[in-house]
Structures are given as structure tokens and as C-alpha cells.
Structure 1
Amino acid sequence: MFTLRFISCITALCIINACTPADTPNPEPNLPHPNSGPAYTASGHAPQHGLDLFLHVARQKQKNICLSPYSAHTALALVRPGARGETLRQIDRTIGPVETLAAQARTTSLPLELANLACIEQTLPLKPEYKQALPSGSYLSADFINHPDLERTTINRWTADRTHGRILNIIPPNVITPLTRMALINAIYTKAEWEHPFNPAKTADKPFHLENGQTTSCPTLQHTAHYRHIDSRMGEAIAIPFKKRQDKQETCLIAILPKKGTTLSQHLSTLTPADIRTIRQQLATATPRKTLLEIPKFQTETSTDLTAAFAKTGIPDACDRNKANLSGITDSRPPLHIAKILQKTYFEMNEKGIEAAAATALIAEKSLIPSAVRFDSPFIWIIADLDPETTPYFIGTLYTPAR
């Protein structure tokens, strides 16, 4: 039996695919139809599935984070039908084909809920083809010019409702102003059960070795089951499966522990999107083996301004008032640009499974023997389908497991 203890630096990428409860079919994702906008412009380009975004943020923060690449990409999919020229090409290279995002929602084993809102200033002369391209039921007329804070409250209330109260105040005060012309919102929520639940009676406080050399105590889950597990130059990784639905993708939480003697910050400084894809590929082909797993029970919430990160890793033109080409939305002058991309996330992992929620707000303005695997130091966590060619729904790091 193999024992895996995740008790130190863990890099975790959390990828969640969408689905509904096991006794009901997956709903059709509420995304713009691929045929309702311009033709896809990034054929032959391999999208990074948000991994470059995660690594950029994680290297800067060096603390617990949780991101939802899937939510962010879905919000960008809402602006895509109105993008043109290089702005469109950058969005396509970043999010990949919209139909691929939609396919994930239909094929995952996770019970995922998705919702989109397109809040548009009532005086903005929208092009009919852009309005028609928006997902059914997502359009909402707004009065940003005269009542910006009232509209902010409406958006925040909608987001809280769609995330079961887990995401509050996605848009903070003073972000919506009389210059705001569009607020495009995606909300994502899931509550999934493990294939092999942890026994609460075995949960116990155990040491967790912090990056600064100190040790703290944290509630630690423990279970022996057959898990996919690998040990490579990129660290030790395990796939903790969720309940699988018939004919659906196997979905799991992937936890990645840096090599002994390497801190999470050091690990992140050299880790690449290709490395994470390789880990996922190796786990997908690994044979499950009997393993004693120990991993922290934890909860984390993150608020992140992704504007600069997206400008750096994928869509610089859309965020530049002088370069953005969103002329497929409106001919109004001055032209629109993306002023803010904000995201809030919630993630909790316990004996039964996980609960995770995220919302992204895109604001457009005018301008063997059981070996033991123990996670007892900082690590990366990922909830994902084993298929490495899918976009993460959530991804994060755990530096401190305190609730």
C-alpha cells in the first residue's frame, strides 16, 4: 500500500467540469452559440486553459488563492461576439473555441450550476447581432449613468443568488460608475461528493509544515483507497475522484506536492502550463493503487482583480482603451474597452466532498504497501477532469490550512 501525506507545500490546480445531479441530464450550457458570432480565429493554437493565468497570479500572491479559469473564460465568451480584429484573435487564443467550453459542461461528472448576466446601459445603441448572440435570458437593461450603485446592488444580489450565497459583493463600491456601459457576469457553483468519502472519525489535527519553516496544526482527512498517483520530477501528485456519472468524464481533485526540499514558491517559479498538462496526462493513464491519503480539511475565499493578469497573459488589447476593438457591440463613441475583470471564489474541502463557487465580473467602459501520501506543507490543488485538454474551473494554492 502506498501512503501519500500532503502536509507541506502543495500546488493545487482546481478544475471542475459542469454537470447536474446523477438522476438528471446535464443542461445545455448558457453560452453564446458559436455560429452567432465571428468565425473562430485561433485554429492550430493550443489554449493554455487558464494555467498561465493561474501561474502568473500564484507567483505574485504567494498565499492561499483560488481562481476559476472556467468562469473567467465564460465571461470573456460573452464579450467575444462583439470583438473584432486582433482583440478577437487574442480572446480566441485565450479561451479556445466556445463550443469546447460548452462541451465540458455536458460531459463532466460534477454537479455544476452555471449562469450568465449581461447588464447593458440602456442608452448604449447595441448592434442587433450582438444582442441576439447573448445567451437566452441573460440580457438586462441598466441605468449606469444615473444609478450606478443601485445597478451594482442588483448585480451583487443576482450573483449571491446564483452561487447559493457563497459569493457576496462581486463588485465593490466605486467600480460601477456613470462611465460603465456593460457588466458581463458569470457565476459557477458546485457541490460534489467523493467517490471514496473520508471517515469523519479518522479526521484529526496533524502538523502542517509552513513555508517559513514553522509548523502549525490543522484538521487532516485520512482514507485508504485506490487512487491514481504519480511521482515525477515535477513533484508528487494524486487524483482524488468524485462520484462518476455513467458515460461522463472522470472528474477529480488533483493535488500536487513539490519535491522534498523545494518550497511551493520555488516550485511555482519554474512550473509551466505544459508541466501541469503532463501531470494530468500521467494521472489519466496511471493505474489506481491502494494508497493511504492524508490531506488537510480546509476552506478558502479569494477576491482577485484579474485585469492586469489577463492583460499580461492573453488579452492586452481588450484591456487597452487605445487598442480595444469591440466594434461588433456598438458603433458608439468613444469606443468600449474592458476596464475591470474581477473574480471572487469560495472553496471548501471536507470528509464528504467539496463545495466551490465563483463569479467573474467583466466591466466594460467607454473607453503499494500502502505507501502514504501526506500533504503536510503548502501545495497546489486542482479539481479537474482527467482529460488535460479541458479548462480548469477552479485552481488554487494552500499555504496555510487554518479555517
Structure 2
Amino acid sequence: MNKVLLGVVSVLMVTLVVGLGACSQAAGGDLLQSEEPRETAPEVSASDGATLVEGNSAFAFDLYQELRGAEGNLFYSPYSISLALAMTYGGARGETEEQMADALRFSLPQNQLHPAFNALALELDSRGEGAEGRDGEGFRLNIVNAIWGQRDYEFLAEFLDLLAVNYGAGLRVLDFIGATEESRVTINDWVSDQTEGRIKDLIPAGAINSLTRLVLTNAIYFNAAWEYPFEEDMTEDGAFYLLDGGEVTVPMMRQTESFGYAEGDGYQAVELPYDGGELSMVILLPASGRFETFEATLDAAQVDGIIGSLEHRQVDLTMPKFEFDSSFSLKDTLSALGMPIALSEMADFSGMAGNQELFISDVVHKAFVSVDEEGTEAAAATAVIVGATAMPPSEAVEVTIDRPFIFLIRDIETGAILFVGRTLNPSA
């Protein structure tokens, strides 16, 4: 059975402008937990939940437009980035808060935004019951948060309570001053553990220094089987045509099944559900010679319209196997999106520690995606292969993904976009 395996981590580092006295205590990651438990049944209206998802989706494609200028394949988790920055936003005040809200598309006030993030995370945590994942271990969509603070630095109880209640995150104490490298390794090891070893060495050497006071991390690990598996013996090598006119030979998977399908001026779209039917991959395939034009105008409204127009059709689908990772610093990108003050010494994060010494020194993101034919059988896959909406094979529409495409992973019920990617060369 085919599998899709994704690991994503976002890390945010908030650093003091003025260094403190040196400290020699070891970095061990001792947990300083707020006495407030996580709210497991937040009172969030349907409109607040929808507003959060709509804003997060807008940010996802604002970010895409900033990142698409980079060469090669691209993959990131806008949800992971939004979540890590939302935790930081909880301590922002004044113009810093205003700029972050505008750039991140946070339209809810703070007292409604954080419970809405909590409600969405709890909803996503309920996904996949009884569904299959890789190696027979079951479907996994694991979303975890952690806060790493400088030993003896005094953070406000109100800030720690907000993070504990809404994000389930306790403060793990490290010594960035006296044990900088050990602190970096501790955080990277945590990241690796949370992503089953798929994301290693997230924070590069030198990114943490003696001025670092707080690192907020969010890790997402996703592992799921297709609801309709491809047959391995149907996979054959085929041509994939690159933007520069060249081509590469890659393994192409094939099947004919009933999928959500839409087409419009210059594109085709197909939706592939995962086992359990709660999450899906949506593939956007621009027409030959139209990729750059399609990509340049892509935004949340267009994606929402395409998803809304999907209708079940019998689809003769051909698509490549692919695997790649992306890593980048988002500091300049976020500044360009409209929050430069938060990333400068003029920042006001007085909601964290009662002073204005803190600013964001960097936002580091790394993501991994693999789509291939390894994995275990999903018991539900065979049971749902035959559907009442299936059309006769003679009416199948052909979708051949043999050129650059854009894809996203979404939660069907809430509409939350968890991952966004671009495959220019599946062999890279």
C-alpha cells in the first residue's frame, strides 16, 4: 500500500537585546509547568473557528508567494508556523502586536484567538481513529508544542498560563548562557523524537547564543495510508517534464478510481483522501506552459474556490512518487509580510516578561515529505474502493501529473491547511 509520510517542525527563537551574567548550570530541560491545566473543552463559537481557519489559509498563501521565488521543490507547514508564532503573539504588545496580527492574518482578539487555536488542535488530535498508517502502526497526526526558557529568567505567570491552558506547553528550563551548544542539542533531540527521526538538526550551530532567552517549538508528524491504494505492479518509469524544457524519468504510479475532480481555465485538480476519509491531499496541476502564471496568482480564495468545485468523477490518475525536504529561515520573509518590529530591537514583548528586552531573532522551519509505495495494507481501503458515485470506466477523466504541480494536505471538516508543497522535479 502507498503511504504518505510527512514530518514538519517550526521553531521560533526570542532573544534578549542585552546579555545577562554568565551561568554555569547544565542544560537538562527540566520542566517548569504552569499550575493551570490545558483546557480540553474550550468554548469557541463556530464563527471564531471559521475565522481562524480562514485567516490561517490566507497566511498560508501569502507565505507561498514570498517563498516561491526560491529554486526547486518547496514544502512547508503553514499551520506549524502559525501555531508557533501564535504562542509568541501571546506576549506581544503595542505596535508589535498590531503588526503581527496583520502579517499573520490574526483577526480575532487575543482572548478569542488562543482558545480557537486550542479548539482546532484538539479537533485535529481526534483524527484517524481506526485508520491505518505506515508499517501497521496506525494513522498518526501528532501536533506538540514546547517552550524552552533560560534558567532563572523570570517570565510572567500570565504568559506561562496562557501557553499551558491553550497550547498544552510547559516551560522547559535550559541554560543558553552557560551551556549554549548543549541547549541546542537538547532541543534538536526533542524535535527528532517528536517527528520519529525525520527532522534532524533543525537548529543549526550558531543560531542559539548566550543572548537567547526563549525558544518556542511546534512539531507536526503525519503518517497515513491512502484510502484508495495504488497497486505497486502498476508503477512504471515515465517522463516528468521540467519547467526549463528538460525531462527526467521517475516512477509513475497509476490507478483509476472515483476522486474529487475539478478543472478550470489552465488547470486540473484532484483530491486523494487518506484512510479514514478525514484528511486529503489536493493536487493542483497547471496546464502545460502555464505553471508560472498559475502560481503567481495563487491565493487562499482561489484554492477555496477550486476545493469547493470538486465533484466526484472516475479519474484515470498517473502521478510520480517523490521525496524531498525544505529548510529555511523565515526572518526576512516575515518582515516582508509586515511584522519587522517584532524582529528588531524595537519589539515589545512585555507580555512575556514585563519588560521590552525581548525580540524574535529568527524563525527556523524545516519540513520533509515522502510519497511512495511502501507501507502496510489498510483494512478500510478495500471496503471503500467500490463507491455508489463511481462512473463507468469509459467516462473516466484523465489526469497525468507529468509536469510541475502544487499540492496541499488539508483537514476536510475544518478546512484547515496543514501542509503546502510544490514539486518541480520529483527526482531532486
TM range (shorter): 0.7 to 0.9
Q: What are the residue-to-residue correspondences of 1:113-192 with 2, within 5 Å? A: 113-135=142-164, 136=168, 138-192=170-224
The separation in 2 between residues aligned to 1:235 and 1:54, in whole angstroms, is: 22
Q: Aligned AA for 1:291? A: V
The alpha-carbon deviation at position 153 of structure 1 amounts to 0.6
Mind listing any 5+ residue stretches in structure 1 that lack a counterpart?
Answer: 1-13, 17-28, 355-367
For residue 380 of structure 1, give the secondary structure of its aligned residue in structure 2: strand
- Deviations 1:29-76 (Å, cap 9, x if unpaired)? 9799989xxxx9xx8995152323442244211410100011111111
After superposition, residues 358-397 of structure 1 pair within 5 angstroms as 369-386=395-412, 390-397=415-422
Tell me: CA distance 1:55–1:198, structure 2 relative to 1, closer, same or farther (3 Å).
same
Deviation of 1:188 (Å): 0.6
Find the counterpart in structure 1 of residue 313 from structure 2. Answer: 289
Match of 2:330 in 1: 306
Instruction: Render the CA deviation track for 1:51-108: whole Å, top value 9, x for unaligned.
Output: 2344224421141010001111111122132122333344445264334433333444
1:228 maps to which of 257, 260, 265: 260
Note if contact 1:229-1:238 (Cα within 8 Å) is conserved in structure 2.
yes
CA distance in 1, matches of 2:163, 2:121: 18
Tell me, which stretches of 5 or more residues in structure 2 are unaligned? Answer: 1-5, 9-36, 107-112, 129-139, 377-393
Q: Which runs of structure 1 show a deviation greater than 6 angstroms over 4 or more consecutive aligned residues? A: 29-35
Change (3 A) 1:76 1:33: farther
Partners of 1:159 and 1:167 within 8 A in 2? yes
Query: In the aligned structure 1, how far is the partner of 2:88 from the partner of 2:158?
Result: 12
Of 275, 283, 294, the residue aligned with 1:255 is: 283
Does structure 2 retain, via aligned residues, the 8 Å contact 1:59–1:265? no
CA RMSD of aligned residues (A): 3.0
Moved more, 231-240 or 220-229: 231-240
Displacement of 1:350 = 1.8
> Who wins on radius of gyration, i.e. which is larger?
2
Q: By how many angstroms is 1:258 displaced?
A: 0.9
- Structure with more of its chain in helix, by fraction: 2
Cα gap change, 1:298 to 1:137, in 2 (>3 Å) = same
- For normalisation by structure 2, the TM-score amounts to 0.74
Answer whether contact 1:73 1:95 (CA < 8 A) is retained: no
In the alignment, is residue 270 of structure 1 matched against residue 297 of structure 2? yes
Tell me, in whole angstroms, the C-alpha distance in 1 between the residues paired with 2:256 and 2:163: 47
Alpha carbons of 1:234 and 1:305: their partners in 2 closer, same or farther (altered >3 Å)?
farther
Q: Say if 2:65 and 2:296, in contact at 8 Å, map to a contact too.
A: no
- Number of aligned residue pairs: 349
Q: Residues of 2 paired with 1:30 and 1:158: CA distance?
A: 21
- The question of 1:398 aligning with 2:398 is answered no
1:65 matched residue in structure 2: 74
Deviates more, 1:97-106 or 1:209-218: 97-106
Give a deviation string over 1:276-313, Cα, whole Å, max 9, x none. Answer: 22112222xx2x11111111111011111111212222
2:147 counterpart letter in structure 1: A
Give distance in 2, aligned partners of 1:205 and 1:349. Answer: 15
After superposition, the Cα gap between the structure-2 partners of 1:127 and 1:105, relative to the gap in structure 1 and judged at 3 Å, is closer
| In the alignment, structure 1 residue 103 sits paired with structure 2 residue 119 | yes
Q: Relative to structure 1, is the Cα distance of residues 78 and 385 closer, same or farther in structure 2, using a 3 angstrom cutoff?
A: same
Q: CA 1:299/1:57 → structure 2, altered by over 3 Å: closer, same or farther?
A: farther
Alpha carbons of 1:315 and 1:177: their partners in 2 closer, same or farther (altered >3 Å)? same
Deviations 1:241-285 (Å, cap 9, x if unpaired)? 11226xxxx3210100112321x33322222232122112222xx
Give the match for residue 93 of structure 2: 84
Alpha carbons of structure 1 residues 88 and 310: separation in structure 2 relative to 1, 3 Å? same
- Aligned partner of 1:112 among 135, 138, 141: 141
Distance in 1 of aligned mates of 2:368 and 2:53: 32
Match of 1:402, SS state, is coil
CA distance 1:153–1:218, shift in 2 (3 Å): same
Q: Does 1:217 find its partner at 2:225?
A: no
CA contact (8 A) 2:144 2:220 kept: yes
